[in-house]
Amino acid sequence: VERSVFEGLDRVDPLAPFRDEFDIPDDGPIYLDGNSLGRPPRSAVAAVEAGLREWAIDLVGGWRRWVHLPESVGDRIGELLGARSGQVAVCDSTTVNLYKLASGALAARPGRGVIVGSAGDFPTDRYVLQGIAAASGHRLQLVGSSPSEGVDLDDLCRHINDDTALVCLSHVDYRSGARLDLTEVTEAVHRVGAMVLWDLCHSAGAVPVALDDSGADLAVGCTYKYLNAGPGAPGFLYVRTELQRDVAHPIWGWFGQSDQFAMGREYQRTEGAAGYLTGTPGVLALMAVDAAAGVTARAGIELLWAKSRELTDLLVRLITERLVPLGARLASPADPARRGAHIAVAHRQAWPWCASLVERGQVVGDFRPPDVLRLGPAPLYTRFVDLFDAVEKMAAVLSDGLPDGDFEARVT
Amino acid sequence: VERSVFEGLDRVDPLAPFRDEFDIPDDGPIYLDGNSLGRPPRSAVAAVEAGLREWAIDLVGGWRRWVHLPESVGDRIGELLGARSGQVAVCDSTTVNLYKLASGALAARPGRGVIVGSAGDFPTDRYVLQGIAAASGHRLQLVGSSPSEGVDLDDLCRHINDDTALVCLSHVDYRSGARLDLTEVTEAVHRVGAMVLWDLCHSAGAVPVALDDSGADLAVGCTYKYLNAGPGAPGFLYVRTELQRDVAHPIWGWFGQSDQFAMGREYQRTEGAAGYLTGTPGVLALMAVDAAAGVTARAGIELLWAKSRELTDLLVRLITERLVPLGARLASPADPARRGAHIAVAHRQAWPWCASLVERGQVVGDFRPPDVLRLGPAPLYTRFVDLFDAVEKMAAVLSDGLPDGDFEARVT
């Protein structure tokens, strides 16, 4: 493919104007790691600055408004995820939310002894389930997952039965970008009477997630990837309304308490997603989530997903044409219908390749052990031409030969 | 006492220059609620603004530095609390940290069936313990607490024995400001072989807390009161080094994992306070905590505590002279040696009194059910003359007679 094709796509891209809503330094590298940490929307920066002024002026009185942010920002995220009001709260981290909902789901399926996860899932998902199983006496069953194709659905179906309490899976695999069908898997899990808890970290803000329509029970995710709310921005959780009575909450805190400021003697979990809150929420961070999610909402998930598919399809084509002849290999599903919004390329020297591109100030992707370079072209601010230029630079580094010596492991 | 006495104290106050380090609007009310939400230090505002620029420029590469913030900022908070390095982490909320450490302590005291708390403790502390007891089958014993004098030590000693696993108490009572002796209570708890978990929310940054020297096992607290890190800033936790092997962590997340970025199969809790981390931490919030705690560190806890005692002693004297004749009553210990850094005044109409002072833009304290107005003169930025002026205005509102009608419950 010629560079002019990519330039032409940028000219007709209806989302092109959104790039101007982000704070993007002129001389920076091509950034293909929005799936790890999104760029700052100017509106999110402005929201934090406004929050700092509110703190100075309103002082403790600001809480009259701030106290509702976990729910109101939750509803805003819920709209992006196909969830009606009262089911999503923005709070804590993905890890803590996973812990809360996985624990709560077990309480809703008493007498069932097995938790099912994926052996290839993101570490925190696997560790949280390990910890819960160790404490509760449940058995943790990890189903197989291929480095390039994600969870093996046949293996999953073989491993769930009437002893399964909970199945916890990522909608889009953090490494390969392999995407599961929310509805199909949810139905399979429901057929054996278990609950499903989805990790939406690599979907939220880029890949459509029709939570209500899919029948999903529970979900968690983060806001710092495609939702661009900043490093370590809070997580979110979703509990389907009909399940809120039965899904318990292990951490009984004052923000989950009914009639919170009456400070009553006995804990009584409040209604709605707010019942799954814990302690005092970070106000400035919630303001950033609200503003950042607003940019995604204005662009619209359908347009974002359409552009994302164009971007990843073209990226796969460039990888095949330019990088495979240099020893690289696609480490994402070959079938576009099974992909999310990021692409993985495997190479024996993926680590020095990734580090060298960063050190030269050319392309930022990220390394995932043992041999994967991950590329996430966030559709809100990535230009088509960025893909062409990035792959040229990636090819040049491989053609030059990779330098010897040590490279610091990248943290993302 | 005359106003000139207070003016004179301000002239010789060695901490007076610190007021200029805060963003204080010219026309605001007298703020006596720094024990609920501290004012913004200019350095914390600048740190957040710098963090926003780091996000834009360094993008995901910023994590090479950010990843260490929970521990490095933890060590900085630890210095203020008399804790050597490696025992304090800044993370999650006070509520989540209470849950983590209380759960972990029970694992370190197997075979003991009782958790002891205080019936007068802050709601989240009581609720978290209720939730843990409900899940684990422990019995929760709440010891008596007087609205003005705090925990009854005799009652506490009667209720702890060789079946006590954990005692969880606040160092300074959130309502009355009654202060316990950390060392004395810790020794009593240790005599029966139980562990003690201290809530330091109303001490950290104003009242000396010699954690290591006191023999305390575990502690948690917040950074948004006297530490001035902003609304909903993260909490902290302390686990004494010698206990870190035995105190388990219920939430196994990737930030608590040894060799985190190797993303290994099995969770292995890392060493030090970092082992009690959970998920990805909020970076901008940690930067605010670091900068804000730096102001407290430069002022020095000893000078802050000396000024705090002067402030509260004078406030009690003003209350006695001016407000008691108008129907108010001191709801804090009469003995200065038993007080923390805030003072409670009880009045039958405390709610409309508090609300009226806020609505007139005169004095911000806060209401605590059923009948208490809380006044926290944070020593970093409160002037002595503020106390005189505040009590005059409080007296004037009482003398005018309180308006009828509804007042919105204040949230703090």
User: What's the confidence (pLDDT) of residue A157?
Assistant: 94
The torsion region of residue B216 among left (phi > 0), alpha (psi -120 to 50) and beta comes to beta
Q: How far apart are CA A52 and CA B231, in angstroms?
A: 9
Distances (CA, A) of B351 to A383, B29, B260, B373, B400: 57, 18, 50, 8, 16
Contact B202, B182 (CB under 8 A): no
**How does pLDDT run across A230-242, given as a tens digit for each residue?**
999 999 999 999 9
User: What's the confidence (pLDDT) of residue B408?
Assistant: 47
Give the distance from residue A376's alpha carbon to the nearest chain B alpha carbon, in angstroms: 12
Q: How far apart are CA B383 and CA B236, in angstroms?
A: 29
Q: How far apart are CA A124 and CA A92, in angstroms?
A: 14
Q: How far apart are CA A246 and CA A254, in angstroms?
A: 20
Residue B264 has pLDDT above 90, yes or no: no
Beta bridge partner(s), residue A88: A238
Give the pLDDT mean for B193-222.
Answer: 98
Which is the catalytic residue, given A100, A109, A179, A225?
A225
Give the distance from residue A300's alpha carbon to the nearest chain B alpha carbon, in angstroms: 23
User: What's the confidence (pLDDT) of residue A412?
Assistant: 40
Cα A381 to its chain centre, rounded Å, is: 17
Q: How far apart are CA A280 and CA A282, in angstroms?
A: 7
Contact B282, A233 (CB under 8 A): yes
**How does pLDDT run across A351-377, given as a tens digit for each residue?**
999 999 999 999 999 999 899 999 999
Of A95, A231, A368, the CB nearest to B251: A95
B40 neighbourhood in chain A, CB within 8 Å: 52, 55-56
Question: What residues have CB less than 8 Å from A22, skipping those under 6 apart?
Answer: A39, A40, A41, A42, A228, A380, A381
A175 neighbourhood in chain B, CB within 8 Å: none
The number of beta carbons lying within 10 Å of the beta carbon of residue B297 is: 14
A405 vs A129, residue with greater confidence:
A129
Average model confidence (pLDDT) across chain B: 96
Contact B253 A93 (CB under 8 A): yes
A49 neighbourhood in chain B, CB within 8 Å: 49, 52
Give the pLDDT mean for B278-287.
Answer: 98
Least confident of A41-50, B300-309, B396-405: B396-405
Contact A284 B48 (CB under 8 A): yes
B140 neighbourhood in chain A, CB within 8 Å: none
Interface test with chain A among B33, B121, B225, B252, by most A beta carbons within 10 Å: B252
Contact A99 B250 (CB under 8 A): yes
Is the ipTM reported for this complex over the cut 0.90? yes
Residue B412 has pLDDT above 60, yes or no: no
Q: How confident is the model at residue A216 (pLDDT cuts 50, 70, 90)?
A: very high
Q: Pull the structure tokens for residue A65.
A: 């408004």
Contact B235 A279 (CB under 8 A): yes
B224 neighbourhood in chain A, CB within 8 Å: 280
Active site residue B246: no
Give the distance from residue B29's alpha carbon to the nearest chain A alpha carbon, in angstroms: 10
User: What's the confidence (pLDDT) of residue A212?
Assistant: 98
The number of beta carbons lying within 10 Å of the beta carbon of residue B267 is: 22
User: What's the confidence (pLDDT) of residue B411?
Assistant: 42
The torsion region of residue B360 among left (phi > 0), alpha (psi -120 to 50) and beta comes to alpha
Contact B140, B127 (CB under 8 A): no
Give me the total of CB pairs closer than 8 Å, taking one residue from chain A and one from chain B: 266
- Using alpha carbons, select from B233, B30, B263 the residue that is nearest to residue A52: B233
Strands B164-170 and B114-118: parallel
Contact B284 A231 (CB under 8 A): yes
Active site residue A374: yes
User: What's the confidence (pLDDT) of residue A404?
Assistant: 60
Active site residue B224: yes
Contact A39 B49 (CB under 8 A): no
For A267, which residue in chain B has the nearest alpha carbon?
A: B127
* Torsional sign, CA A336, A337, A338, A340: positive
Distances (CA, A) of B236 to B75, B93, B200, B287, B289: 10, 7, 9, 14, 10
Contact B33 A59 (CB under 8 A): yes
Contact B284 A280 (CB under 8 A): no
Question: 3-class SS at A33?
Answer: strand
User: What's the confidence (pLDDT) of residue A339?
Assistant: 98
Q: What is the DSSP string of A320-369?
A: IIIIGGGT-EE-S-SSGGGB-S-EEEE-TTHHHHHHHHHHTTSEE-EEET
For A280, which residue in chain B has the nearest alpha carbon?
A: B232
Of B67, B96, B282, the CB nearest to A251: B96
Average model confidence (pLDDT) across chain A: 96
- Using alpha carbons, select from A118, A123, A135, A75 the residue that is nearest to residue A95: A123
Which is the catalytic residue, given B199, B290, B366, B386?
B199
Give the distance from residue A70's alpha carbon to the nearest chain B alpha carbon, in angstroms: 12
A137 neighbourhood in chain B, CB within 8 Å: none
Which is the catalytic residue, given B31, B99, B224, B381?
B224
B168 neighbourhood in chain A, CB within 8 Å: none
Q: Pull the structure tokens for residue A241.
A: 């309304």
Contact A285 B284 (CB under 8 A): yes
Residue B117 has pLDDT above 80, yes or no: yes
**How does pLDDT run across A326-348, given as a tens digit for each residue?**
999 999 999 999 999 999 999 99
Of A28, A56, A250, the CB nearest to B131: A250
Q: How far apart are CA A280 and CA B122, in angstroms?
A: 13
| Strands of the B329-330 sheet, one edge to the other | B329-330, B343-346, B372-375, B366-368
* % of chain B residues with pLDDT over 90: 93
Residue B186, judged by CB atoms within 10 A of its CB (0-12, 13-18, 19+), counts as buried
Contact A283 B232 (CB under 8 A): yes
Contact A232 B95 (CB under 8 A): no
Give the pLDDT mean for B30-58.
Answer: 98
Give the pLDDT mean for A40-69.
Answer: 97
Cis amide prior to A208 (ω within 30 degrees) = no
A64 neighbourhood in chain B, CB within 8 Å: 408, 410-411
pTM of the model: 0.97
Of A57, A231, A251, the CB nearest to B62: A231
Question: What residues have CB less than 8 Å from A289, skipping those under 6 apart?
Answer: A44, A73, A77, A90, A223, A227, A229, A233, A234
The amino acid occupying position A7 is E
Q: How confident is the model at residue B404 (pLDDT cuts 50, 70, 90)?
A: low
User: What's the confidence (pLDDT) of residue B53?
Assistant: 97
Question: What residues have CB less than 8 Å from A398, skipping those under 6 apart?
Answer: A323, A326, A327, A328, A347, A353
Of A40, A255, A412, the CB nearest to B56: A40
Give the pLDDT mean for B332-356.
Answer: 97
Residue B271 has pLDDT above 70, yes or no: yes
The number of beta carbons lying within 10 Å of the beta carbon of residue B395 is: 18
Distances (CA, A) of A249 to A68, A106, A264, B312: 19, 10, 18, 40
**How does pLDDT run across B357-387, given as a tens digit for each residue?**
999 999 999 999 899 999 999 999 999 999 9
Reported as half-sphere exposure (CB side, CA atoms, 13 A), residue A33 has a value of: 28
* % of chain A residues with pLDDT over 90: 93
Cα B403 to its chain centre, rounded Å, is: 33
